[in-house]
């Protein structure tokens, strides 16, 4: 941490001389100048009289109001706070109403974190082109998970996240507006969301973190550039297919779409954002997953794929990169994403295009794609590869593990369990993998059969998974119940304090009902 730089010196403004014109009459002598010329008898300037330019006052013009330059934007990550566009050199944040940015409002006061905020918690200031945050509190301020320390300061960069009172309580994100990294987004999107940082890149485009202005909710913005494809038609078909699928699905283990925008050059798909990252990253960090955790994740994957297949959708690109985790905790909900390669089945149940990531492709995609075609059994195979990687920590079909190419290994179903990697894994888990990685799709275990496998006959795991999958639904129900309770409370107050008003509306309703019945009887 560095010491706070002193305030920048300000240049003194220079005084400008102004020439004031004196009022006069036509009988007074005409203005004179050092230039040669004669005066007319009328006392007015003749065509040859001249006046030095420096003596003339310029014609006044309406000065345009100079708009202050926004050098940074502080975006709230919690409900109840507002966006701050930084134009001054310094802002103090805290509970005190005298602060430049106060947390003291009715919504924030209801938060359990309110009392952990200091009266003056931190300040953001800039010195030349650098922006700093200084901790003024005793409870602590964090920038990108690093604690600053009371009286100390830290440099703020674009997309820095500020946490208050505790490391995980992220309250603000700082956006550097002096940089030129804001993309040309659709106007309607910009009205509703703040764009933040890049969080991923795929075959069809990049994914960025965005924040909904009204709710402070994080979302993921997937951009599909039409010009990245051999033809605009290809981009359109892929994007429209993905959008169609995203609109159709509704399952807790499948990523949800929030919004959709389109320009001449690109598609913009707004998806729900999850905090835990990709399954690939989790496996890479841990080398391999514990069997109980892998079982919990795999059960959810099976339920999600079962739902897709029941709705006539084949994913065709199941892999660890396309499985997202909703939390950094081991026990968490998973979300399958990226439906760009997916297919909605028509009357024919066969597909004949080569789609997906080679390492996870089923044998029939290589051997029968152009002739006989293939079915939803390709997803069963990919699930087997996924489970293998979760438990073993390495892909079953790998050029480093065989003299055969990956394609040959897959076609022949050639893989092996390396003893050192699989010594702690149960035989039941390995049996399920073997029954999914069967070359003949007709003999391959289906999703329904996999769910009935003895390895997944685990009541405790299923209860945990079901609780995770229904947590979102229970939150909605809980919110509705709370609103109903508030309504009853308000009605009770009305009955006690405004009984006359209630009686008036009651009798007016009775009159309306009487008129309605009378008109109905006349008809």
Q: Is residue 478 scored above 60 in pLDDT? A: no
Q: Which is nearest to 441 in space by CA: 521, 354, 382, 386?
A: 382
Indicate the burial class of 377 (C-beta count within 10 angstroms; 0-12, 13-18, 19 or more).
buried
* Residue 284: alpha-carbon gap to chain centroid: 24
CATH architecture of 72-176: Sandwich (2.60)
Give the per-residue pLDDT at 209.
Answer: 87
Give the per-residue pLDDT at 26.
Answer: 41
Per-residue pLDDT band at 435 (split at 50, 70, 90): very high
Convert the pLDDT of each residue in 40-98 to its tens digit: 344 443 434 444 444 444 555 555 666 788 999 999 999 899 999 999 999 999 999 99
| Segment among 123-127, 216-220, 325-329, 336-340 with least mean pLDDT | 336-340
**Rounded mean pLDDT, 188-208:** 80
Mean pLDDT of the chain: 78
**Rounded mean pLDDT, 287-310:** 97
- Domain spanning 279-469 has what CATH number? 1.10.510.10
More confident residue, 234 or 348: 234
Alpha helices in 353-444 (DSSP H): 363-367, 377-392, 406-412, 419-422, 427-436
Give the per-residue pLDDT at 71.
Answer: 92
Active-site positions?
A: 317
CA dist., res. 431 & res. 436, Å (int): 9
Q: Positive or negative, the Cα torsion across 487, 489, 495, 498? A: negative
According to CATH, the topology of domain 187-272 is Phosphorylase Kinase; domain 1 (3.30.200)
Per-residue pLDDT band at 460 (split at 50, 70, 90): very high
Give the per-residue pLDDT at 241.
Answer: 72
| Segment among 236-240, 371-375, 389-393 with least mean pLDDT | 371-375
- pTM for the model stands at 0.65
Q: State what percent of residues in the chain have pLDDT above 90.
A: 44
Give the per-residue pLDDT at 67.
Answer: 76
Residue 314's beta-bridge partner residues?
Answer: 343
């Amino acid at each position: 941490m560095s010491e706070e730089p002193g305030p920048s010196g300000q240049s003194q403004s220079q005084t400008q001389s102004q020439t004031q014109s004196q009022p006069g009459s036509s009988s007074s002598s005409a203005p004179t100048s050092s230039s040669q010329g004669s005066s007319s008898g009328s006392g007015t300037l003749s065509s040859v009289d001249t006046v030095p330019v420096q003596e003339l006052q310029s014609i006044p013009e309406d000065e345009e109001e100079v708009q202050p330059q926004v050098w940074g934007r502080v975006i709230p990550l919690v409900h109840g706070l507002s966006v701050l566009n930084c134009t001054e050199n310094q802002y103090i944040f805290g509970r005190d109403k005298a602060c430049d940015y106060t947390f003291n409002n009715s919504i924030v006061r209801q938060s359990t974190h309110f009392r952990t905020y200091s009266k003056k918690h931190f300040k953001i200031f800039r010195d030349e082109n650098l922006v700093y945050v200084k901790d003024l509190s005793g409870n602590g301020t964090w920038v990108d998970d690093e604690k600053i320390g009371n009286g100390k300061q830290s440099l703020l960069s674009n997309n820095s996240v500020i946490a208050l009172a505790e490391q995980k309580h992220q309250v603000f994100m700082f956006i550097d507006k002096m940089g030129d990294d804001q993309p040309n987004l659709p106007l309607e999107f910009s009205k509703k969301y703040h764009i933040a940082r890049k969080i991923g890149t795929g075959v069809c485009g990049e994914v960025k973190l965005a924040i909904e202005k009204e709710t402070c909710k994080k979302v993921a913005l997937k951009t599909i550039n039409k010009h990245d494809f051999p033809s605009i038609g290809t981009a359109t078909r892929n994007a429209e297919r993905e959008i169609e699928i995203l609109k159709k699905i509704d399952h807790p283990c499948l990523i949800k779409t929030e919004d959709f925008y389109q320009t001449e050059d690109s598609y913009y798909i707004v998806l729900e954002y999850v905090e835990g990252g990709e399954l690939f990253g989790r496996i890479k960090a841990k080398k391999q997953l514990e069997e109980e955790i892998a079982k919990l994740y795999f059960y959810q994957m099976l339920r999600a794929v079962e739902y897709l297949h029941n709705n006539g959708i084949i994913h065709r690109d199941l892999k660890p990169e396309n499985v997202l985790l909703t939390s950094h905790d081991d026990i968490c909900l998973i979300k399958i994403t990226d439906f760009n390669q997916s297919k909605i089945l028509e009357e024919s149940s066969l597909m004949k295009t080569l789609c997906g990531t080679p390492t996870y492709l089923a044998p029939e995609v290589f051997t029968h794609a152009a002739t006989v075609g293939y079915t939803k059994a390709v997803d069963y195979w990919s699930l087997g590869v996924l489970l293998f990687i979760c438990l073993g920590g390495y892909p079953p079909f790998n050029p480093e593990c065989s003299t055969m190419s990956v394609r040959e290994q897959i076609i022949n179903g050639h893989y092996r369990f390396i003893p050192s990697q699989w010594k702690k894994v149960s035989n039941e888990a390995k049996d399920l993998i073997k029954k999914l990685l069967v070359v003949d799709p007709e003999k391959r275990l289906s999703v329904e059969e996999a769910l009935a496998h003895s390895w997944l006959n685990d009541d405790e795991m299923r209860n945990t998974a079901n609780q995770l999958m229904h947590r979102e639904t229970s939150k909605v129900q809980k919110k509705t119940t709370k609103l109903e309770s508030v309504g009853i409370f308000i009605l009770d107050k009305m009955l006690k304090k405004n009984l006359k008003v209630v009686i008036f509306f009651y009798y007016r309703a009775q009159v309306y009902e009487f008129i309605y019945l009378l008109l109905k009887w006349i008809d």
